[in-house]
Structure 1
Amino acid sequence: MALANILVVDDETEIIDIIELYLNKAGYQVFRATTGEMAINLAVHKRPDLIVLDIVLPDISGFQVTAKLADLGLSDIPVIFLSCRNEEETIVQGLHLGDDYVTKPFSPSELTARVEARLRRKRATTTPSVAAENQQQLCFADLVIDLPAHSVRIRNTEVPLSTTEFKLLCLLVQNRHRVFSSEQLYELVWHTQGLDDVRTVMVHISNLRRKLEKFPDSKEYILTVRGAGYRFNHAL
């Protein structure tokens, strides 16, 4: 039986063939799409556990696909962007909208390992934490985090977060008296070490702040400790 269902989206069928071969060997079932609209349709009807998504597609971009999935309430599906575009601006945008970014040419073995890492985090019943708590809800000022439901609300308004953003926020909240460096956050949330860990964490922290602080008179939930890293504002 397949470990999980993976939707692979690329306009080059040869690339899908290679990815499918490696994912099948790892025990995953693969759904295939060569256009953005086909990907959205499959995501709605098949509810994959993860999406490997090209950015440059013949109809709409991969970024537009993620936006439409969010509108359909499917933003909780992890997305790994796979693209030949390697300019920093595009990579940063991809990390804003998805959970990981792999540039072409790529290693199929590495991509499979990244898929497995993302799915391990998704299957985890609790958020990664150094000091785990058994609370069902975490409440600070106007912020309410429902751990079992994987939802975040500010003033009873849902805040749409990606799986990675949710885990990052929960880690900071559950360890609110601790300062984490970018390297520590990357290792605890992404469960790996990498050369781009600092930039990846900075992008996700920035994205998380933007979503949490978009409300009028909202609090500053995540603080930067100069020279040390980040912590949750436990004074709320």
Structure 2
Amino acid sequence: MKKILIIEDDSAIAEIESDFLEINGFSVLIAKDGLEGLNQIKSGTFDLILLDLMLPGIDGHEICKQVRGIIDIPIIMVTAKTEDVDKIRGLGLGADDYITKPFSPTELVARVKANLAQYERLTGSQPTKHQVLHVGDIKIDIEKHRIIVNNQEIEFKNKEFELLLFFATNPDIVFSKETLYERIWGMDNFGDTKTVAVHINRLREKIEKDPSNPIYIQTVWGVGYRFMV
């Protein structure tokens, strides 16, 4: 049984989230603020975190930053804000996905299941033989989950790693934002394709010598993105 940690100060929302997740077979623990959430993370084992952005004391952004220094599991940020800057900041700090209030319980459960499935696919389907991909100045060590760019190891978040690996194993093919979201995030009905654009920009910052004039990840205007080798 997968264990979910909900960090949410609104007890009514937390209970609704908990009820629907438990109905769908998840074990759930609720933390009412950031400090309690961090203590639970340090003392327990969880498979996914639902993290509210606006929390008393320590906000969701700071918690996300600290969590990424402790464990590597999917984080879905829950926010009432609609400004793109809040979503971008959350993704930049290591959140894998976000969901904006108000949301339907069905959407919440779908997001949780999809993020868990994608995480398991990335971390659980290790090759039987140590496999390393070489693309230009980029080396992707699949088994060790490491990426070397110009002989320097660069840290990649889960979705960044999976997106780059997907591109590297499917070169010279144009993918739309919608297709990339479905392939990497595992959903085709609930996603916000701005998430894809944010991750593309972050990949370019990490692998391109000149992110404003990319060599590897090229934009095909009006269609999507293509990875050139």
Matched, 1:82 2:78: yes
Deviates most, 199-208 or 117-126: 117-126
2:179 paired residue among 156, 175, 184: 184
1:1-236 aligned at under 5 Å gives the runs 2=1, 4-72=2-70, 74=71, 76-97=72-93, 98-124=95-121, 136-155=131-150, 157-194=152-189, 197-213=192-208, 220-234=215-229
Matches of 2:134 and 2:164, distance apart in 1 = 13
Q: 1:39 to 1:210 in 2, by over 3 A?
A: farther
Q: What SS class does the counterpart of residue 124 from structure 1 fall into?
A: helix
**Deviation by residue 1:55-100 (Cα, 9 ceiling, x = unmatched):** 111111111111112233x2x3111111211223222323434122
Root-mean-square deviation over aligned CA pairs:
2.8
> Where does the alignment leave 5 or more consecutive residues of structure 2 unmatched?
none
Q: 1:10 is matched by which residue type in structure 2?
A: E
- Amino acid in structure 1 at the alignment position of 2:106: S
Q: Is the 8 A contact 1:35 1:57 kept in 2?
A: yes
Distance in 2 between residues matched to 1:194 and 1:214, nearest whole Å: 35
Secondary structure at 1:168's aligned position in 2? helix
Between the aligned partners of 1:78 and 1:126, the Cα distance in structure 2 is 12
TM-score, structure 1 normalization: 0.82
Quote the Cα distance in structure 2 between the aligned partners of 1:166 and 1:85: 27
Count of aligned pairs between the two proteins: 224
Percent identity, aligned pairs only, is: 39
Q: 2:134 is aligned with what amino acid?
A: C
Q: Which amino acid aligns with 1:53?
A: L
Q: Which residue of 2 aligns with 1:131?
A: none
1:206 and 1:32, CA in 2 relative to 1: closer, same or farther beyond 3 A? same
Distance 1:47 1:121, change over 3 A: same
Query: 1:144-169: per-residue Cα shift (whole Å, max 9, x none)?
Result: 21212333233454422222222111
1:159–1:43 Cα change, 3 Å: farther
2:124 and 2:169 map into 1 onto residues whose CA distance is 9
TM-score of the pair, normalised by structure 2: 0.85
The worse-fitting range, judged by mean Cα deviation, of 6-15 and 221-230 is: 221-230
